[in-house]
Structure 1
Amino acid sequence: MDTASHLLLGVTLGGLAMALSDPAIGDQSTVMYGLFAAAIAGSNAPDFDSAIRIRGHEAYLLHHRGFSHSLPMLAGWPVLLTPLIAYLFHAWDYMLLLFLWTMAGVVLHVFLDFFNAYGVQCFRPISRKWFHGDAIPIFDPVIFGFHLAGLLLWLFGVMAAQVVFPLLFALTFLFIGYRIVLHRLMLHVVRRRYGVDGHSFLIPKWLPHEWGYVHETDQTYIAGSIRGTHLREETIFHKGERNDVVQAVMGSDGVRSFLAFAHRVHISCQKIQNGYKVELRDVRFRHGEKLPFGMDITLDDHLQVTGNTFGWKKKLWEPPFS
């Protein structure tokens, strides 16, 4: 999910830690604050890898949501963070409790990232494959709204922590389950339209009854949208010619990293002054007939790669936002 959502859910997870803690701990305010901090830190720790941006977009693509979200780091982040939290809040006697709530935050973060379209390498080192459940958008206004409303109800004294925070997380997991069921139903709608040949996948939108979809054939990507059970085919992207120019870029490290992340791309090639330009676009992130997320590679007339750029080809405020 997005940073704001991880931060908000970290705060409400901290509220849950307070609500479920032994009442005796309530007399030790620093320990209670430590539990709160542990949940927030754990909920945001996997995204500390965003610092890799300083090494460029290619490094960011290769490493973001990679090892920092992996199986070893489910315990690794708590091991790193718990002593610091215990020191800051003078809570050495509660190390195990701090460790468990930090881990709960990390697990919640990875769980939420798993179910959006961007995906996560959560099973490293067993597998370096990107997994994405395609059930919730990166920013889900319903989940965000739940937790913001619940937090405000607690802050203004309308509901007790012991009531509001368990209720919040119960509703959150029920809603995610609902979206997972909807995902299965909508995917069935697409497959019923196009048959079993090819591969179909969905792109979650902000509202639960609205989805994007892509159906892959041997030569094309058919893209459209679903509203309720009504499917509308909107555009077709040809996969692109695999000529000598395109083949020349496939061995570069940047392209290998991009293809490992994107899986399904639209490829175009054009002659430019003193060489060629190859454009690779991720078909998951579509707006109308545009594919704004991808990678551009330039080559000279001898088919040697001379440069590449990676990222969004759109304004920050323009869709898509997932």
Structure 2
Amino acid sequence: MDTGTHIVMGIGLTALATQDPAMAGSFVATATTLVVGSLIPDGDTALKLKDNATYISNHRGITHSIPFTLLWPLLISLFIFTFFKNIDVTHVWLWAQLAVFLHVFVDIFNSYGTQALRPITNKWIQLSVINTFDPIIFIMWCVGIVLWLFGVHPYLAFFPIIALLVVYYIIRFRMQAIIKQQALKQIKQEHNPVKIFVAPTIRFMEWRVAIQTETYDYVGRSFGRNIVFSDKSERHPFPSDDLMQYVKNDKNIKTFLNFSSIYRWQATKLDDDTTEIRLIDLRYLKNGHYSFVAIAHLDEHKEIDHSYIGWVFSEDKLQRKLFAK
């Protein structure tokens, strides 16, 4: 989820924690425990300052893993115990553990996902039923906060909202399943599907759809049950080893291959000296442009001149960022 949603979740948990007698010694300590616990797994956002490949490889990776899900509450408890008195450190740890767990848990429901089961597996868990920012979820938590601020008991303010959120998530799973069925129905008579991706947008009834078949890629959007495929392209075999061996270990290309769950590639001869390898994530088509790509330029000696990975929303900006490296 986005930072704003994690913050309002932390405030909601703070309201519930105020009903724990062991946390009654300091409201500041309680709020710090729950809000920091709701945000701390995203501390890896600072990796953006280094480069996109490092950020994409690690964001929601190790900081959302099993060891760190257990480590963060211990660090928060140590901080609270150091700076606040008259508060039960065991209860601080339990509430911090709840906040951190919920942060990691809700992140698995969007298309970016997390490596929540690391080190058991490094697989990205991407259930793709909730947009990174979901206005309905955000508003529901805000309603609970407003009710609490106006004096409604935290249990009455938030328990009904939590129940409604459970129902909402079930509805989103059902909607995704219906759209998958409809999308496959529209193309199954033409080609054999090998991979399908359905993910939400910020709009409740609009979903992104990408299907790979043995011969074509289909990319589009659903509006209700009406699915419009705006891009159809023929699939090609992956670049031959004599070409890929020169780019597969580039950090930007490697990051893309590890992260993207559904993509296609293009190899283009730009001139006598330069060949462009472009990997295109099919999940991010908007206004006719694929915003998440990885590019490598090979010179005549098959050495990489430039490479880039990231989200860019126009071809001009993409080229500027590529050559800025």
**Pairwise same-fold verdict (TM > 0.5):** yes
Residues 224-303 of structure 1 aligned to structure 2 (within 5 Å): 224-240=220-236, 242-243=239-240, 244-272=242-270, 274-303=273-302
Question: Which of 40, 43, 48 is equivalent to 1:45?
Answer: 40
Deviation of residue 204 (structure 1)?
0.8
Q: Residue 202 of structure 2 aligns with which residue?
A: 206
- Supply the AA of the counterpart residue of 1:249: V
CA shift, 1:174, in A, is 2.2
- 1:97 is matched with which residue? 91
- Cα deviation for residue 310 of structure 1 reads 1.7
- Residue 320 of structure 1 aligns with which residue? none
Give yes or no for contact 2:290–2:313 (8 Å, CA) kept in 1. Answer: no
- Which of 134, 139, 148 in structure 1 is aligned with 2:142? 148
**Partner AA of 1:220 in structure 2:** Y
> How many residues matched?
308
C-alpha contact 2:193 2:211 (8 A) present in aligned 1: no
* 1:199 alignment partner AA: K
Deviation at 1:38, TM superposition (A): 1.3
Q: 1:61 to 1:239 in 2, by over 3 A?
A: farther
Task: Give the deviation of 1:240 after TM superposition.
Answer: 4.7
233-242 vs 281-290, which deviates more?
Answer: 233-242
Alpha-carbon shift at residue 135 of structure 1 (Å): 0.4
Deviations, residues 97-116 of structure 1 (Å, cap 9, x unaligned)? 11111111111111111000
Within 2, Cα distance between the matches of 1:17 and 1:169? 15
Q: Cα gap change, 1:220/1:247 in structure 2, threshold over 3 Å: closer, same or farther? A: farther
Q: How does 1:107-186 map to 2 (within 5 A)?
A: 107-157=101-151, 159-186=152-179
Could you tell me which amino acid in structure 2 is paired with residue 226 of structure 1?
S
- Give the letter aligned to residue 197 of structure 2: F
Q: CA deviation at 1:247?
A: 5.0
* CA distance in 1: counterparts of 2:198 and 2:75, whole angstroms: 37
Residue 188 (structure 1) aligned to one of 181, 185, 194: 181
1:86 to 81, 86, 101: 81
Deviation, 1:211, is: 1.3
Q: Following the alignment from structure 1 to structure 2, what is the Cα–Cα distance between the partners of residues 25 and 245?
A: 61
**Cα deviations across residues 231-280 of structure 1 (Å, max 9, x unaligned)?**
22221144456255455312323312211100322222223354222222
Contact 1:34 1:86 survives alignment (8 Å): no
Query: 1: distance between equivalents of 2:95 and 2:277?
Result: 47
SS at match of 2:289: coil
Letter in 2 for 1:151: I
Letter in 1 for 2:280: R
1:64 Cα deviation (Å)? 0.9
TM-superposed CA distance for 1:4, in Å, is 1.4
Task: Show the 5 A alignment for 1:27-46.
Answer: 28=25, 30=26, 32-46=27-41
- How big is each residue's C-alpha offset from its partner over 1:71-125, in whole Å with a ceiling of 9 and x where there is no partner? 112211111111102222224x511111111111111111111000111111100
Separation (CA, whole Å) in 2 of partners of 1:88 and 1:183: 47
Which ranges of structure 2 fall in alignment gaps of 5 or more residues?
315-325
CA offset at residue 180 of structure 1? 1.7
Q: Which residue number in structure 2 is paired with residue 319 of structure 1? A: none
Whether the 8 Å contact between 1:245 and 1:269 is mirrored in structure 2 is no
Residue 6 of structure 1: aligned partner: 6
Deviation string, structure 1 residues 49-88 (Cα, Å, up to 9, x no partner): 1122222111111111101001112211111111102222
- Look up the match of 1:68: 63
Cα distance in 1, alignment partners of residues 214 and 269 from structure 2: 26
Give the residue type in structure 2 aligned to 1:169: I
Residues 25/224 of structure 1: CA separation in 2 closer, same or farther (3 Å cut): closer
* CA deviation after TM superposition for structure 1 residue 147, in Å: 1.3
Identity of aligned residues (%): 27
Q: Verify the 8 A CA contact 2:23 2:92 in the aligned structure 1.
A: no
Cα drift, residue 308 of structure 1: 1.3
Letter in 2 for 1:17: A
**Aligned partners of 1:246 and 1:269 also within 8 Å:** no
Decide whether the 8 Å contact of 1:239 with 1:265 is kept in 2: no
Which residue of 2 is the match for residue 318 of structure 1? none
Match of 1:57 among 48, 52, 58: 52
Which blocks of at least 5 consecutive residues in structure 1 are unaligned? 316-322
Aligned partners of 2:235, 2:185: CA distance in 1, in Å?
23
Specify which structure has the bigger relative contact order, considering alpha-carbon pairs within 8 angstroms and separated by 6 or more residues. 1
Partner of 1:15: 15
Q: Which amino acid aligns with 1:130?
A: W
